[in-house]
Structure 1
Amino acid sequence: MRFTRELAAVVALLVLFGALVRSGAGRIVLPLVSLVVAAGLVVLLLKQPAYTRMAVGPRTRILESVPSDTEAECVECAAPATRIRHYVREWVVLGVPVVLLDEGRVPVCDDHRD
C-alpha cells in the first residue's frame, strides 16, 4: 500500500512537471524548483550520514539504550532487561535513509547482549 502511494506521488509530480514544461510559467517555476531541489541535496549531503556515503539499498541500524520501565524482560531468558535494542531497517540512497521498512525493540539482559 505504501509503494502504491509513493508511485502515485511520483506520477503526479511527473505530470505536473510535464504541464509546467509546456506552459509559459515553466520558465519561472522550473528554475526555482531546480534551485530548491539542489539546495535540499546539498543539505542532505552536508549532514552526518547514518550509513556510509556509498550505501544503497536496504540497511539495518541497531541502537542500544537503558530501559525506562523496570518491567522489561529479556526475550531470551525472561530475566530483567538491562538494555533495549532498537533496530531500524531502512532503504538507503547515498547514506541517507529514504524509506522506513521495519522497526522494533528487543529487550535483552547482560548475558544475551552478544
Structure 2
Amino acid sequence: MRLLRELAAAVVLLVIVGVLARSGVGRFVLPVVGLAVVAALVALLSKRPAYPRTAVGPRTRIIESAVESADVACVECGSPATARRRYVREWVVLGVPVVLLDDGENPVCDAHRD
C-alpha cells in the first residue's frame, strides 16, 4: 500500500514538472526549484550522518544511558532498572535523519539489557 502511495506521488510530481516545463512560468519556477533541491542536498550532506551514507528509508536507533534514580522499575520484570534505552525511529535520507516517526524510553535492568 505504501509503495502505491509513493508511486502515485512520483507520478503527480512528474505531471506537475511536465506542465511547468511546457508553460512560460516554468522558465522561472523550475530553476528556482532546482536550486532549492541542490541547496537541500548540500545541507543534508554537510551534517554528520547518524547512519551510513547509503541509508535511505525508515531506520531505528537505540541510545542507552544510565538511570539516575533508584525508584525506576524495569519494564520487563519490575526490578530496579540500571539503564534507560531511548529508541528513535526516523526517516533517513543519505544517512541523515529527516523526519522523526516514533520515539520513546524503556528502563531496563541488567538481566534484560540484551
Asked if the contact 2:56–2:93 (Cα under 8 Å) also holds between the matched residues in 1, the reply is: yes
Instruction: Tell me the C-alpha RMSD between the 2 structures.
Output: 3.2
Structure 1, unpaired ranges of 5+: none
Counterparts of 2:98 and 2:74, CA distance in 1: 31
Tell me which amino acid in the other structure corresponds to 1:54: T
Question: Which aligned pairs between 1:31-46 and structure 2 lie closer than 5 A?
Answer: 31-46=31-46
Cα deviation, residue 104, structure 1: 3.8
Q: What corresponds to 1:30 in structure 2? A: 30
Change (3 A) 1:7 1:103: farther
Q: Normalising to structure 2: TM-score of the pair? A: 0.72
More displaced, 20-29 or 54-63? 54-63
Tell me which amino acid in the other structure corresponds to 1:44: L
Counterparts of 1:69 and 1:2, CA distance in 2: 42
Tell me which amino acid in the other structure corresponds to 1:48: R
Tell me which amino acid in the other structure corresponds to 1:19: V
More displaced, 85-94 or 25-34? 85-94
Cα deviation, residue 14, structure 1: 2.6
Cα deviation, residue 107, structure 1: 1.4
More displaced, 71-80 or 27-36? 71-80
More displaced, 68-77 or 35-44? 68-77
Counterparts of 2:91 and 2:32, CA distance in 1: 29
Structure 2, unpaired ranges of 5+: none
Asked if the contact 2:86–2:106 (Cα under 8 Å) also holds between the matched residues in 1, the reply is: yes
